């Protein structure tokens, strides 16, 4: 019996001595929100997350998603092997509020905005001992610029959308079910954010590993674009003039250098999506525009009815770097005849059969765009003046085609505007400008351009995209834009 | 009717406890008494307890039923043994005694292992079934879960892949959870095991089945707990049912050594009928012509070249093989009245029917239990296994089907053809099989020690401590000679994931009877914790493929390494009371409180009660006259709540994820929140009601059981969609509900008894599933594939397919009128047209789709028969699933006829202007890959799952060669299948997912097996 008692004590003792399992969750390989945003490194990581959502990730926003909206223009069409119905529907203007491509653009943009909101809210709270004020101000300025850029996209795509300026932290209906803000309110927030970003460093201040961050040049170019879109011609012109006079930027002598990895982040590039050929990053547009012959997907195909290829004047040096019927295989040196006319802007000859790893940056803002914007603004203010012509001519001359006056047409204000837009179309093809350019000219212009390019479904409502059906179903406080009601 | 040793031991200790404790006065004149104890047939009974009444002294019988005792001749002996009536025998000065014990039929009644205890089958109030050994003995399967198919009503077992050692999907009474786990909880020797597939993310293809770490031959009994009364004791893990596995232990008696083996051969059940080279070449010609008519009708090959083609490469035949499966096992078991032991070792090796795939396992087990004294016993169950899987890489089976027959395995120079020569990129699957390494090695140790002490009369404390260690290593190498490896110049990856789970259980058990009142109670406290760590690394750009994954440092560029670490904990308090009056009226109540770390800060603890009652009508006095015909009639009812907490970790927290981005030449890191924190996150609650009847006729020669149940699962762990304006798309919340209702019938009959024996078991179950609510204003969610081929819709069952509906083929002259219904920009005759559901005259995926099928069966059944005559025995099981549909994803891509990949042979009947009367659309280089009702097929099947014919050699002959017994057998699995399904095999599903069940795409095909084996006891 004695032994048994000892064993009993042992047993009970063992049971009680064991410490209780803790029910708190302490993620050891993951951070949680309330552990973070305390140091300058945390602050950089918070802003990096915004760039990530907007630019880096495959299929996301600028690295591919925006391309879906280029489908709704006269220049691009869904290639024959396109599998995604959302792309096919956008290409043929059969898209509806349930279109997945439209949904994704909305989703990723608000995700980026949420990340920006977090940075804008949390970085000011970091103690002064942990972050130097210069870095703090720069990071907040970057976040505000990126937030403005996202709202600028949203308001152009969808019109009156909810204006969310704080991180979403509660799962309550009051917090989640936001309502539409007016376009005016959104634009005034965009301008406020852009003005707050004036403290960004001048181009050239970043180290080579951070060369892709937003600069004061980005801020000015975006600001000008906002004014131009709003037809505030004089504000647009003055902002553009400041940018041009700053001498930060200049055109490359050779158009090919714009898309040559050896010249990336050069004097013409204001803001670009960065690619380095690493297998961990996919260059979405490069892969999706490449032909089958080079293992491409050939989804982003030229719309042959749009006549872009034919519109290049003879001798235009941009033509072959934009569209091609044959590609030289750099491994064999032989020309490969393509079944289809193909966009080749992002073709990287270093990895001919693997354009997912193309190192060609996608320029989102570049100096040629600035010059053309300035020419447009000057024309709107004062007609096709010599000054306005000069800025248009700088782009034309670089392309190896005659100055505008040498075409021998008498230039009206309206005629000059068309020249500028045609020049933008050729110069900036597949750089995500075409849909915005068409839509800001209004429904009549958009419909006539698309119809004459063979897209007979074009209708006035297509100058905006519909607010995603999913959002309308989930959020009773959100309403569809009037033009899209009933679709 | 088999008894369970574990529980026998407990009862034995219990009986000891009931003995009155009283010290005997000293005796002076004593003499040795010798005796033997036998049963009614005169066979000696070992292990019988003989106690001198009123004392603590006594003896136990040895192997020959004999005992000896020093007595004075005046004492009274109390003789007791499990399964026998206790006898009280006065010695009356005799020196030798022969005592015959009468069997207690009641006591011998089948005893089942239930949660935290055992229960006689006749005392059950809940729906609990045991699996007959016929279902899992001598079956050449890697894991026990495969053996449950057809064994029990209400349990649907489906293989998820023919990959040896891969997973099995089990649904007990239907799937309830939409996004959380649906697999049952496994309890092995009292240890609830972590049974999710673990993966280091390196090996691609099917996951390794964690149950494959347990050797099926080590298993003594399997019970399945189905209703809430039996599962509520497992609280927040009980909602999907519980499978309780008890492993073998030694028996008292001489040591017994046995050897078992089986060797078999497997082959694929069926191959798909695809186009040969000539057929393919013509499809390609047509597709090219359709695209560019100016280049003529023979852009690929001329008719002369086509007729010169042979059949081309049969990629299926190149990959499939006859594969060996073998199993060897040695058992040593035995024991005394104080110690019982079993030691086993086994080796199992199963080649896959696809070459260079397979699974092998070495397994050791040691089970030991010992009685240190009458009050104290302890034991150990230890299982260790090491298994190796060579896994078919993901996409391999699809590649075998899609590779054109005109492509060759090798180029003329003898090197591998890299890929499909045409537009669609498919890498050479045979090269992948031959050259690529894709393997996993799993070490699993399950160990459990327990001690049991009788604190007071009828009151016992049991303490157990166990651990479940799993360590999985994964290795992959894609050589530079393969298409996948050529751009990266060889890629090697290594990964490891290890999980350590420990468990401490402390239970108190009380059992008592007074008069006709019988009571037993259980109270316990348990704690379980799991820690998991994962790590992977890789490199690419190798100078040589020789080193494969063995030298990551020799790769010129490193892949980003990954690691993770998490833990979860579960604290529980549980209790149960069983009461019966006179074996007539039964009442069971149980309760478990679970605290789980997985849930939100405001919602850590959940409470899971149950209540059940039963009335054994056949024990009533008024029923006695019927007892000769109706030997048992019992009605049961139970009600209770159980939970499901199978979600990932940290789901309630706003964790941050690292993201990588480029702002220049090198990567930088960002951090962003994964979700909005949900402090209220809790478990799914299933409320289940069960009504059952047990009926036994003619001394239980016919036993019939029927159960009707209704399970309502609410607070579904659902990724509730939230507006994207929040920056997030969903939030894991407790939202929505699903109902499962069903009926289970089972019938066991003894058809013949005597020299010729014939027993049958038939079970039938039907389950109806309905989504009641899914979330915030939504009444459906589309999921899966490009456009969502599956729908979760209120009012419909889970597993519904959502697609277009064919309206035939566009004929000449219809392009203008019906062309828009093809969904193509340039419709042509021969294109598929679809039903215009929204009536707008144009096909669109948004408006012209509907529910076109469902994967849930109308009913399933299992039918087992066993026959024996003299030494011969025959056993077979038929399993059927009727009324389920399959989304044939293989056919969907094999009917594209784009000339860029192979197609089904029925493409020979495709639409052409000279063959307009067909239901196969034309060849087209630009087909739209739309899922429509043509690819939903009747997946009903009836299958001869297993048939075993055995012969036990006559003992006279066996003994002449100094063996105890010897048995030889041949068996076959899946030898016959009756189905209309056109794919490889109708038994398909996706792992642990109730939404995309019945989706057959690129699944490793199932095999049929013929094997032979023997079992020798030395």
Instruction: Kindly report the nearest CA distance between residue A49 and chain B, in angstroms.
Output: 5
Write out the DSSP string of A300-353: EEE-GGG-HHHHSPTT-TTHHHHEEEEEEETTTTEEEEEEEEEE-TT--TTSTT
Does A249 lie in the same domain as A127? no
pLDDT beyond 60 at B3: no
Residue B329, judged by CB atoms within 10 A of its CB (0-12, 13-18, 19+), counts as buried
> Residue B237 pLDDT more than 80?
yes
Q: Using the 8-state DSSP alphabet, how is residue B149 labeled?
A: T
| Residues in chain A within 8 Å Cβ distance of B465 | 14
User: Helix A413-427 vs helix A367-382: angle between axes, to the nearest 10 degrees?
Assistant: 170
pLDDT in tens, B537-586: 999 999 999 889 999 999 988 888 989 888 889 999 999 999 999 889 99
Contacts of B49 (CB under 8 A, 6+ apart): B12, B15, B16, B58, B60, B78, B79, B80, B81
Residue B387: pLDDT over 80: yes
Domain membership flag for residue A230? yes
Distance CA B111, CA B9 (A): 13
The pLDDT confidence band at residue B8, using thresholds 50, 70 and 90, is very low
* pLDDT of B1 strictly over 50: no
SS3 B991: coil
Name the residue among B613, B600, B764, B758 with its Cα closest to residue B683: B600
Instruction: Give A180's contacts in chain B (Cβ within 8 Å).
Output: none
Q: Is A367 a domain residue?
A: yes
What is the C-alpha separation between A237 and A380, in angstroms, rounded?
Answer: 10
pLDDT of residue B43: 67
- Answer whether residue B587 shows pLDDT above 70: yes
DSSP state of B227: S
User: Is there a contact between B660 and A280 (Cβ–Cβ < 8 Å)?
Assistant: yes
Within this chain, do residues A97 and A164 fall inside the same structural domain, yes or no? yes
How far apart (Å, rounded) are the C-alpha atoms in residues B789 and B998?
Answer: 12
Residue A206 forms part of a structural domain: no
Q: Establish if A51 touches chain B: CB-CB under 8 angstroms.
A: yes
Find the mean pLDDT for residues A78-99.
Answer: 86
A-chain CB neighbours of B455 within 8 Å are 8
Specify if A460 maps to a domain: no
Residue B140 · residue B264 · CB < 8 Å:
yes
pLDDT class for B19, splitting at 50, 70, 90? very low
Distance CA B199, CA B166 (A): 12
pLDDT band at B295 (very low <50, low <70, confident <90, very high): confident
Mean pLDDT of A309-318: 94
Q: Are residues A35 and A159 in the same domain?
A: yes
What value, to the nearest 5°, has the Cα angle with vertex B28 and ends B26 and B30? 110
Nearest residue in chain B measured CA to CA from A45: B670
A248, A103: one domain: no
> Which among A416, A410, A421, A422 has a CA at the least distance from the CA of A382?
A416
Residue A355 shares a structural domain with residue A365: no
Residue A430 φ/ψ region, left for φ over 0, alpha for ψ in the -120 to 50 degree band, beta for the rest: left
Judge: A111–B727 Cβ closer than 8 Å, yes or no: yes
Question: What is the model's pLDDT at position B762?
Answer: 95
Nearest chain B alpha carbon to A32: B655
Query: Do the beta carbons of residue A57 and residue B686 sit within 8 Å?
Result: no
Q: What is the pLDDT of residue B6?
A: 42
Cβ-count burial of B700 within 10 angstroms (0-12 exposed, 13-18 middle, 19+ buried)?
Answer: middle
Helix crossing, A413-427 with A386-399: angle to 10°? 30
Give the confidence band of B39 by pLDDT, cuts at 50, 70, 90: confident
pLDDT in tens, B877-903: 999 999 999 999 999 999 999 899 999
Residue B21 has pLDDT above 70, yes or no: no
- Tens-digit pLDDT profile for residues B815-837: 999 988 988 777 889 999 999 99
Q: Which two tokens stand for residue B77?
A: 């002996």
Edge-first strand order for the sheet with B31-38 is B66-71, B31-38, B96-100
Q: How many CB atoms lie within 10 A of CB B221?
A: 23
DSSP 8-state symbol, A63: B
Count of beta carbons in the 10 Å neighbourhood of residue A13 = 10
Contact at 8 Å (CB) between B386 and B399?
Answer: no
Integer CA distances (angstroms), B22 to B27, B51, B53, B55, B197, in order:
15, 12, 9, 5, 56
Kindly list the distances between the CA atom of residue B762 and the CA atoms of B75, B129, B242, B632, B874, in Å, as whole numbers in the listed order: 53, 13, 22, 19, 16
**Residue % of chain B over a pLDDT of 70:** 95
Residue among B511, B507, B510 nearest B525 (CA): B507
Contact flag A208-B665 (C-beta cutoff 8 Å): yes
Q: What distances in angstroms separate CA A479 from CA A158, A182, A459, B40, B781, one per listed residue?
A: 11, 12, 21, 87, 21
Q: Which domain holds residue A392?
A: 214-274+361-440
Higher-confidence position of B20 and B766: B766
Going by C-alpha positions, the residue among B434, B426, B437 that lies closest to residue B401 is B426
pLDDT single digits (tens) B909-921: 999 999 999 999 9
**What pLDDT is stored for residue B7 in this prediction?**
46
- Taking each helix axis as running N to C, give the angle between helix A40-51 and helix A100-122, from 0 to 180 degrees, rounded to the nearest 10: 160
Contact between A48 and B595 using a beta-carbon 8 Å cutoff: no
CB atoms within 10 A of CB A33: 21
pLDDT for B13 equals 39
* CATH code (residue A175): 1.25.40.890
User: Inter-chain contact B659–A48, Cβ cutoff 8 Å?
Assistant: yes
Percent of chain A at pLDDT exceeding 90: 70
Distance of CA B112 to the CA centre of its chain: 20
CA distances from A292 to A82, A355, B293, B666 (A): 12, 11, 19, 30
Q: What is the band of A19 on the pLDDT scale with cuts at 50, 70, 90?
A: low
Per the CB < 8 Å rule, is A474 touching B777? yes
Query: Where does the pLDDT of residue B362 fall: very low under 50, low under 70, confident under 90, or very high at 90 and above?
Result: very high
**pLDDT, averaged across chain B:** 87
Q: Is the dihedral of CA A145, A146, A151, A152 positive or negative?
A: positive
CA distance A345 to chain B (A): 20
Least confident of A138-152, B721-735, B935-949: B721-735
Q: Which residues of A touch B659 (CB under 8 A)?
A: 48-49, 52-53, 56-57
Which residues of chain A make contact with B299, given a CB cutoff of 8 A? none
Confidence of residue B83 (pLDDT cuts 50, 70, 90): low
Of B14, B902, B817, the C-alpha closest to B404 is: B902
- What pTM did the predictor assign? 0.81
Residues A194 and A158 in one domain: yes
Report residue B501 as tokens. 């789970």
The more confidently predicted of residues B784 and B161 is: B161
Task: Please give the Cα distance from B374 to B59 (Å, whole number).
Answer: 12
**Residue A192 and residue A225 share a domain:** no
pLDDT band at B249 (very low <50, low <70, confident <90, very high): confident
Residues A185 and A228 in one domain: no
Residue A309 within any structural domain of the chain? no
What's the confidence (pLDDT) of residue A325? 92
Residue A53: per-residue pLDDT: 92
Asked whether residue A456 is assigned to any structural domain, the reply reads: no
Calculate how close chain B gets to A472, using CA atoms only, in Å.
9
Contact list in B for residue A14 (CB cut-off 8 A) is 463, 465
Q: What percent of chain B has pLDDT over 90?
A: 51
Say if A17 is an interface residue toward chain B (CB within 8 Å). no
d(C-alpha B85, C-alpha B37), whole Å: 13
| Residue A257, domain CATH | 1.25.40.390
Predicted local confidence at residue B72, as pLDDT: 85
Q: What confidence tens digit (pLDDT) does each residue in B504-550 have?
A: 999 999 998 888 899 999 999 999 999 999 999 999 999 999 889 99
My answer on whether A408 and A478 are in the same domain is no
Q: Is residue A242 predicted with pLDDT exceeding 90? A: yes
A398 lies in the same domain as A292? no
Tell if the CB–CB gap between B660 and A56 is shorter than 8 Å.
yes
What is the distance in angstroms between the Cα of A444 and the nearest Cα belonging to chain B?
25
Average pLDDT of the segment spanning B473-492: 90
Q: Are B490 and B477 in contact (CB under 8 A)?
A: yes
Place of tokens 């959100």: A478
DSSP B784: S
The confidence score (pLDDT) of residue B104 equals 60
Residues A163, A268 share a domain: no
The contacts of residue B906 (CB under 8 Å, 6+ apart) are B273, B895, B920
In a domain, A204, yes or no: no
Q: How confident is the model at residue A1 (pLDDT cuts 50, 70, 90)?
A: very low
Residue range B160-213, pLDDT digits in tens = 888 888 878 888 998 878 777 888 999 999 888 866 778 888 888 777 787 888
Q: Does the pLDDT value for residue B801 go beyond 50?
A: yes
Give contacts of A475 with chain B, Cβ < 8 Å: 723, 725
Give the C-alpha separation, B774 to B738, whole Å. Answer: 8
Task: Tell me the pLDDT band of B20, cut-offs 50, 70 and 90.
Answer: very low
A-B Cβ pairs (cutoff 8 Å, strict):
253
Q: CB of A152 within 8 Å of any CB in chain B?
A: no
- In chain A, the number of structural domains is 3
A52 touches chain B (CB under 8 A): yes
Q: What is the pLDDT of residue B251?
A: 77
Measured between its terminal Cα atoms, the distance across chain B in Å is 25
Q: Is residue A21 part of a domain?
A: yes
Name chain A contacts of B665, Cβ cutoff 8 Å. 208-209, 274, 276
Distance of residue A62 Cα from the nearest chain B Cα, in angstroms: 13
Q: Given this model, what pLDDT does residue B975 score?
A: 94
Q: pLDDT value at position B41?
A: 61
A96/A23 same-domain check: yes
């Amino acid at each position: 019996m004695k032994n048994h008692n000892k064993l009993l004590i042992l047993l009970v003792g063992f049971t009680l001595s064991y410490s209780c399992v803790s029910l708190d969750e302490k993620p050891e390989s993951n951070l949680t929100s309330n552990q973070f945003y305390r140091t300058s490194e945390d602050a950089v990581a918070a802003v990096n997350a915004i760039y990530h959502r907007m630019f880096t990730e495959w299929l996301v926003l600028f690295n591919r998603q925006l391309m879906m909206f280029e489908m709704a223009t006269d220049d691009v069409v869904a290639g024959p092997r396109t599998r995604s119905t959302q792309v096919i529907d956008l290409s043929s203007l059969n898209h509806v509020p349930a279109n997945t491509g439209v949904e994704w653009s909305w989703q990723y943009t608000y995700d980026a905005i949420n990340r920006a909101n977090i940075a804008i809210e949390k970085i000011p709270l970091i103690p002064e001992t942990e972050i130097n004020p210069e870095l703090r101000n720069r990071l907040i300025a970057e976040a505000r610029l990126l937030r403005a850029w996202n709202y600028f996209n949203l308001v152009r795509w969808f019109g009156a959308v909810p204006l969310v300026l704080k991180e979403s932290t509660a799962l309550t209906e009051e917090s989640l079910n936001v309502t539409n803000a007016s376009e005016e309110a959104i634009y005034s927030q965009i301008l406020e954010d852009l003005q707050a970003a004036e403290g960004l460093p001048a181009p050239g201040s970043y180290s080579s590993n951070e060369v892709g961050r937003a600069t004061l040049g980005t801020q000015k170019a975006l600001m000008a674009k906002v004014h131009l879109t709003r037809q505030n011609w004089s504000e647009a012109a003055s902002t553009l003039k400041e940018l041009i006079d700053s001498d930060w930027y200049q055109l490359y002598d050779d158009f090919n250098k714009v898309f040559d990895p050896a010249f990336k982040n050069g004097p013409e590039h204001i803001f670009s999506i960065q690619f380095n050929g690493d297998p961990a990053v996919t260059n979405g547009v490069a892969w999706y525009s490449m032909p089958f012959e080079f293992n491409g997907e050939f989804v982003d195909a030229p719309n042959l009815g749009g006549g872009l290829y034919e519109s290049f004047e003879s001798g235009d040096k941009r033509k072959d770097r934009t569209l091609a019927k044959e590609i030289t295989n750099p491994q064999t040196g032989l020309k490969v005849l393509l079944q289809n006319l193909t966009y080749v802007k992002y073709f990287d000859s270093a990895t001919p059969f693997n354009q997912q790893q193309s190192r060609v940056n996608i320029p989102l803002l570049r100096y040629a765009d600035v010059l053309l914007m300035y020419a447009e603004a000057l024309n709107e203010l004062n007609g096709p003046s010599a000054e306005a012509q000069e800025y248009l001519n700088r782009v034309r001359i670089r392309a190896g085609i005659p100055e505008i006056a040498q075409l021998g047409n008498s230039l009206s204000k309206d005629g000059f505007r068309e020249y500028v837009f045609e020049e933008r179309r050729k110069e900036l093809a597949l750089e995500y400008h075409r849909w915005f350019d068409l839509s800001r000219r209004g429904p009549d212009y958009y419909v006539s351009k698309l119809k004459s390019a063979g897209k007979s479904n074009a209708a006035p409502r297509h100058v905006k995209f519909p607010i995603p059906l999913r959002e309308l179903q989930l959020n009773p406080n959100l309403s569809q834009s009037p033009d899209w009601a009933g679709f | 009717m088999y008894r369970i040793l574990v529980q026998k031991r407990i009862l034995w200790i219990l009986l000891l406890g009931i003995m009155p404790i009283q010290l005997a006065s000293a005796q002076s004149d004593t003499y040795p008494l010798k005796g033997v104890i036998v049963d009614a047939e005169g066979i000696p009974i070992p292990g019988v307890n003989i106690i001198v009444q009123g004392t603590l002294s006594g003896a136990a019988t040895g192997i020959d039923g004999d005992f000896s005792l020093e007595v004075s001749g005046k004492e009274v002996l109390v003789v007791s043994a499990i399964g026998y009536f206790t006898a009280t025998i006065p010695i009356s000065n005799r020196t030798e005694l022969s005592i015959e014990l009468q069997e207690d039929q009641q006591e011998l009644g089948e005893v089942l292992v239930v949660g935290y205890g055992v229960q006689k089958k006749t005392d059950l109030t809940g729906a609990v079934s045991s699996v007959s050994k016929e279902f899992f003995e001598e079956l050449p399967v890697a894991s026990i879960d495969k053996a449950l198919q057809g064994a029990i009503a209400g349990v649907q077992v489906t293989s998820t892949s023919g990959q040896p050692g891969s997973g099995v999907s089990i649904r007990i009474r239907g799937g309830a959870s939409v996004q959380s786990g649906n697999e049952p909880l496994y309890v092995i020797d009292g240890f609830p095991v972590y049974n999710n597939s673990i993966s280091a993310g390196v090996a691609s293809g099917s996951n390794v089945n964690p149950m494959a770490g347990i050797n099926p031959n080590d298993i003594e009994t399997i019970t399945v707990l189905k209703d809430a009364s039996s599962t509520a004791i497992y609280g927040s893990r009980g909602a999907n049912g519980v499978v309780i596995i008890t492993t073998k232990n030694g028996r008292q008696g001489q040591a017994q050594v046995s050897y078992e083996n089986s060797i078999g051969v497997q082959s694929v059940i069926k191959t798909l009928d695809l186009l040969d080279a000539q057929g393919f070449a013509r499809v390609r010609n047509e597709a090219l012509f359709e695209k560019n008519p100016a280049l003529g009708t023979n852009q690929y090959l001329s008719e002369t070249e086509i007729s010169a083609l042979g059949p081309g490469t049969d990629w299926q035949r190149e990959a499939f093989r006859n594969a060996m499966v073998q199993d060897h096992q040695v058992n040593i078991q035995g024991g005394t009245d104080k110690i019982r032991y079993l030691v086993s070792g086994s080796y199992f090796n199963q080649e896959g029917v696809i070459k260079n795939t397979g699974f092998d396992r070495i397994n050791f087990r040691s089970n030991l239990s010992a009685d240190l004294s009458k009050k104290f016993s302890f034991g150990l169950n230890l299982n260790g296994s090491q298994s190796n899987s060579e896994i078919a890489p993901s996409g391999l089976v699809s590649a075998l089907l899609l590779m054109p027959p005109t492509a060759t395995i090798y180029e003329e120079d003898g090197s591998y053809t890299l890929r499909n020569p045409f537009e669609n990129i498919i890498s050479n699957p045979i090269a992948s099989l031959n050259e690529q390494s894709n393997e996993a090695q799993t070490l699993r140790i399950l160990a459990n020690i327990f001690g049991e002490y009788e604190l007071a009369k009828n009151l016992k404390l049991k303490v157990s401590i166990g651990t479940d260690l799993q360590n999985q290593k994964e290795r992959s190498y894609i050589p530079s000679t393969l298409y996948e490896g050529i751009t990266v110049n060889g890629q090697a990856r290594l990964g490891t994931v290890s999980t350590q789970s420990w468990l401490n259980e402390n239970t108190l058990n009380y059992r008592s009877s007074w008069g006709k009142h019988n009571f037993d109670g259980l109270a316990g406290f348990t704690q379980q914790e799991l820690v998991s760590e994962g790590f992977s690394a890789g490199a690419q750009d190798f100078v040589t493929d020789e080193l494969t994954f063995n030298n990551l440092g020799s790769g010129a560029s490193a892949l980003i390494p990954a690691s993770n670490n998490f833990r979860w904990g579960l604290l529980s308090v549980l209790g149960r009371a069983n009461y019966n009056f006179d074996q007539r009226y039964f009442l069971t109540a149980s309760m478990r409180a679970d605290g789980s770390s997985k849930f939100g800060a405001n919602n850590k603890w959940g409470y899971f009660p149950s209540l059940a009652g039963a009335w054994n009508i056949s024990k009533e006095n008024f029923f006695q006259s019927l007892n000769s015909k109706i030997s048992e009639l019992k009605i049961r009812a139970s009600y209770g709540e159980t939970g499901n907490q199978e979600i990932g970790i940290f789901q309630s927290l706003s964790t941050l994820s690292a993201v990588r981005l480029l702002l220049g030449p090198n990567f930088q890191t960002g951090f962003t929140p994964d979700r909005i924190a949900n402090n209220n996150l809790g478990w799914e609650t299933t409320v289940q009601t069960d009504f059952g009847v047990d009926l036994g006729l003619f001394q239980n020669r016919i036993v019939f059981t029927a159960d009707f149940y209704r399970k309502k699962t609410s607070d579904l762990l659902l990724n509730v969609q939230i507006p994207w304006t929040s920056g997030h798309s969903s939030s894991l919340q407790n939202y929505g509900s699903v109902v499962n209702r069903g009926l289970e019938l089972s019938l066991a009959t003894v058809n013949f008894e005597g020299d010729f024996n014939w027993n049958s078991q038939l079970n039938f179950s039907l389950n109806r599933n309905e989504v009641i609510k899914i979330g915030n204003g939504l009444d459906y969610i589309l999921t899966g594939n490009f456009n969502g081929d599956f729908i979760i819709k209120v009012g419909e069952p889970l597993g519904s397919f959502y697609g277009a509906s064919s309206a035939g083929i566009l004929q000449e002259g219809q392009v203008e009128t019906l062309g828009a219904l093809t969904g193509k920009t340039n419709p042509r005759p021969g294109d598929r047209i679809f039903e215009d559901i929204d009536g707008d005259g144009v096909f669109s995926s948004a408006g012209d789709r509907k529910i076109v099928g469902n994967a849930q069966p109308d009913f399933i059944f299992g039918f087992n028969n066993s026959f024996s005559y003299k030494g011969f025995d025959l056993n077979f099981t038929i399993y059927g699933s009727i009324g389920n549909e399959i989304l044939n994803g293989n056919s969907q891509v094999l009917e594209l006829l784009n000339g860029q990949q192979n197609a089904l042979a029925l493409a020979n009947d495709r639409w052409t202007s000279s063959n307009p009367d067909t239901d196969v659309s034309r060849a087209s280089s630009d087909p739209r890959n739309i899922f429509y009702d043509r690819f939903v097929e009747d997946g009903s099947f009836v299958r001869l799952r297993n048939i075993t014919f055995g012969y036990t050699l006559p003992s006279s002959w066996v003994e002449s060669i100094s063996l105890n017994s010897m048995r030889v057998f041949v068996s076959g699995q899946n030898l016959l299948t009756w189905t209309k399904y056109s794919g490889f095999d109708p038994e398909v599903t996706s792992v642990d997912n109730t939404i995309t069940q019945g989706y057959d795409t690129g699944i490793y095909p199932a095999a049929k097996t013929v094997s032979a084996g023997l079992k020798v006891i030395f």
